[in-house]
Structure 1
Amino acid sequence: MMQSRRMLVLRAVVEDYIRSQEPVGSASLARGHELGVSSATIRNDMSALEDEGYLIQPHTSAGRIPTEKGYRYFVDRLAKVVPLSHAQRNAIDAFLAGSVSLQDTLQRAARLLAGITGQIAVVASPALSKSVLRHIEIVPVAANVLLAVIITDTGRVAQHTLRVDPPASDELTRLMTVVNDRCAGLPLRSAADAVRALGMGPFAGLHALAECLAGVLDDMVDDDRAGEMYMAGASSLAHRRSDDLAPMLDALEEQVVIMRLMSALSEESGADGVGVAIGSETHTPGLLHASVVTGGYGGFTHGLAHPERGLSPDVGDGEATASQRRAGDGTEREPVAFVGSIGPTHMDYAATIAAVRAVARYLTDLLTNENPDDAGVYA
């Protein structure tokens, strides 16, 4: 019973410190929370929590503040993440619904999340290394020049020039029919291997073309620009007076480090979850006094983007990719990108988690052709 009450005291300290950012004393806890014990008993519990590493006392006469261990206990036992308010849901709908492209959507999502949380928001574009092939089209454009149009499940459209002798029209049509039948729904690297195998087997006469196309798919996966990242909120956070903010803002300059951290955190949390790294858990010196909240988006195999919003071209109303045929029930796969928030360790974790989850689900539904205006996605 004592241990259970002690943890209730810890929870109360974290909640009050997040709200006030002032050291919390036993008297204020006794007044503000129904803990059922005296101020003296609360003081003893706080002393024990300090000995156990959950709290620290910055000054001898001051109250206590949570440590990284205290925040971790609090986050792991959050009883409830309150859904966004009706006004906040409407803000997401209004702010993102007018997007004209995937890039525009991601930029807006970053600005929106920063506005909701008052913290730094980071949104990554879908990584081609995690994308699934939707459709390939090859069109002759000149002598010895073909244009390959490659469409992924996340709405990414890439055009690449293939400099090979063009085959006869019927041979090219037959090759593309087989390629799309066998490769649609495969990760780009696997699709490249499949195309290469076709050029060494049933389409040996088109070996040069198949090898060239496979090389393009491989290059798309290896393209460093596939991991573009959109950030918002840094300027407003910089205006706050805190010694802990300067290292955080410096760390944000290392975008590769932030990308790696948030991507790994989103993958660990799963397609529909939200991961939290606190202080030293980020393994980033500049974020020792910061917390990172990240969620993956786009982690469904049946996804198509909204053609009407400019995220992918129409390839035929009745057309379905191999992944849709195999996983029409919405089977989850690894998220294709992440959305996250970076702020001080005393951030409002429940509100931040709710905001990150809501924006991530909106982006997932946008890419998977669901209805992002369904209020259920914000729960």
Structure 2
Amino acid sequence: MVSERGLQVLQAIVQDFVETREPVGSKRIVDRHAFGVSAATIRNDMALLEDEELIEAPHTSSGRVPTDKGYRVFVDHLARLRPLTSAQRAAISVFLDGSTDLDDVLSRTVRALTRLTGQVAIVQYPSFARADVSHVEIVDLGGRVLVILVTDTGRVSQRVVSLPDGAEPAEVAHVRARVSALVTGRSVRDGAQAVAAALPLHQAPADAVLVAVLRVVAEELEEFRQDRLLMAGAANLARSEADFRGSIYPLLEAIEEQVTLLRLMSEMVADREGLAASIGRENEAFGLAEASIVTGDYDATGARARLGVLGPTRMDYPTNLAAVRAVAHYLSQLLEDDESSR
């Protein structure tokens, strides 16, 4: 059982190690933190923390560094979320205000989050399977058409489709009406099913334009239904490579493939504020035993999703948790305001 002062010593070790990347000794703790006890007493506290496997010595006669278990205790019991400065809050507002659609606002969100934390920033797209297709537009570009799909949750898809030779403007107008009748006002799921059912019925050469557009619409609606991530700041991993005992390749692979991170984020259990942290060896099953991920829930017109940061276990958890919480709150409010203004 760790004493109250022992927990405070652990907090000092975590804070100093995160700041300096150097093992922390008892003299440093006495010099930098007002415990009012001798270095010998602090050494005894550190020995107890080591017995509990909360800190360890990276090599003989060195100071101590936190273990993954130590970081977990710190996050669960000691970390206090540091309020963001007015400058940081203003930066969030500058990044997110003026966005044009959901893709744009989420892109701005990850850029803001990586600027605030210096980590890899991640935002999960909300699931749009239950969203309704509110508008379809097909714009004739002369030999090609621009297919635009819009959902009532603000998701926008734009794809250019090449048309068969000899396609007439009247055909484009007919296709627009046909596609709109199939999907407008329906959920993404139902619209995708309607398109899938219609495709086999239009295989005649005269239907070539309609089939080309329907296939693209089917692909875009399917993408709306799938979970996916948007990320920024992968270069930050290279700058923190010294914090990884092994290779950063598993992290880069997880960023590229996304499936691993989606599974990990979906299994993290959030607290009452919607915040969660998964630290070091807790991520071993996902091949990310040397990384930590901090997430926060945000609300996108009734569909909840997560955003967060990924980095080494030696990260500033209080600051990162505060940044994630603030950005998640701002994003939820922005999406709610956007929905109410429609």
TM-score higher than 0.5 here? Answer: yes
AA aligned opposite 1:260: L
CA, structure 1 residues 217+41, in 2 after alignment: closer, same or farther (shift >3 Å)? farther
- TM-score normalised by length of structure 1: 0.65
Counterpart position of 1:264: 266
Counterpart position of 2:242: 242
1:1-379 aligned within 5 A? 3-129=3-129, 131-133=130-132, 135=134, 151-157=150-156, 188-189=188-189, 222-223=222-223, 226-242=226-242, 244=244, 247-254=247-254, 255=256, 256-265=258-267, 268-269=269-270, 272-284=273-285, 286-301=287-302, 334-335=304-305, 338-369=306-337
AA aligned opposite 1:277: S
Give unmatched runs, 5+ long, in structure 1. 142-147, 161-165, 196-207, 209-215, 302-332, 372-379
AA aligned opposite 1:235: A
Tell me how far apart the structure 2 counterparts of residues 156 and 279 of structure 1 sit (CA, whole Å).
Answer: 35
Q: CA deviation at 1:287?
A: 2.2
Give unmatched runs, 5+ long, in structure 2. 141-146, 160-173, 195-200, 202-215
- TM-score normalised by length of structure 2: 0.72
Aligned length: 306
Counterpart position of 1:327: none
Q: CA deviation at 1:270?
A: 6.8
AA aligned opposite 1:155: G
Tell me how far apart the structure 2 counterparts of residues 95 and 220 of structure 1 sit (CA, whole Å).
Answer: 27
Deviation track 1:74-108 (CA, whole Å, cap 9, x = no partner) reads 00124521221100111111122233332222222
SS in 1 for 2:297: strand
AA aligned opposite 1:33: H
Counterpart position of 2:206: none
Q: Contact conserved, 2:292 with 2:311, CA < 8 A, in 1? A: yes
Tell me how far apart the structure 1 counterparts of residues 282 and 332 of structure 2 sit (CA, whole Å).
Answer: 27
Q: Contact conserved, 1:272 with 1:297, CA < 8 A, in 2? A: no
Counterpart position of 1:317: none
Tell me how far apart the structure 2 counterparts of residues 33 and 127 of structure 1 sit (CA, whole Å).
Answer: 47
Q: Contact conserved, 2:243 with 2:312, CA < 8 A, in 1? A: no
Q: CA deviation at 1:53?
A: 0.9
Q: CA deviation at 1:344?
A: 1.1
Tell me how far apart the structure 1 counterparts of residues 223 and 101 of structure 2 sit (CA, whole Å).
Answer: 21
SS in 2 for 1:227: coil
